Amino acid sequence: MTSAPLSSLFTLDGARALVTGAHGGLGRAQALALGQAGAEIIATDLTTDRAEQACAYLEHQGLQATPLPLDVTSVDSIDAAFDDLERRRTVPDVVVNNAGVSLRNTALDATTDQFDLTLTVNLRGTYFVAQRAARAMRQRGGGRIINLSSIGGLVVDGEKSSVYDASKAAVVQLTKNLAYEWGRYGIRVNSIAPGYMRTEMTADLLPTKAVEDELVTRHIPLGRVGEPADLAGAVVFLASDASAYVTGHTLTVDGGWVVAM
């Protein structure tokens, strides 16, 4: 009996993948990778306009994409989005909880508004999108959920990071708990912990080339800041059969930052 080619483990042909925060740099890169692996993309973002812009980008790359407004801070919005998907019988096989914020302040100066918004988007949003997705996936016999954590969820990644790091550390632990509870339903839950990536969200962390060069020299053995496309292999691996026996895991994509601590 001839075994299937290794490349077939990484295909997502016939799958449907939903990405939250698909308009942003990391979300767009992951949606692109999943689409190039064969998945039909559901691109969600805070507003219809942002979701449609994400789809326009993907369609320009020759991919099929459907826009869907989804505000992860609102359980009503999450429910409305999944109600719509269920009505159209387009429940996703893969959900990428990418939506996030990075509000930085010192632990002496962080405000309640900064704290509440960070935890609401990064943790609460991830939790309730995953919960609603899992309820649908359970009925279908399984699925894959990929949460976006950060190296800040594993180590202290700099000053002014206490609130952000706390939210991402919670995502790492949440991933483990959900994997433990939902494995019996055929639902795998993993997370990706990116290092510093060159996106609009991190622009204030890398304001000049001198700051970037110093950060790279001190922290990144591979010698460069990450690009959103560096997440492509990780998200396809965790979404595909290539990771069929992997759950509860956090995969660092950080150029070696964590091991250099």
Which residue of the set 57, 164, 196, 245 is catalytic?
Answer: 164
The DSSP element (H or E) to which 151 belongs, if any, is none
Distances from the Cα of 259 to the Cαs of 92, 188, 222, 252, in angstroms? 35, 26, 11, 10
Percent of the chain as helix, strand, coil, to the nearest 5? 50, 15, 35
The residue with tokens 């759950």 is: 247
Q: Which of 25, 57, 59 lies closest to 40, judged by CA?
A: 59
Annotation marks residue 164 as catalytic:
yes
- 167 SS3 class: helix
Structural Rg of the chain based on CA atoms? 18
CA dist 101 and 254 (Å) reads 18
* Active site positions, annotated: 164
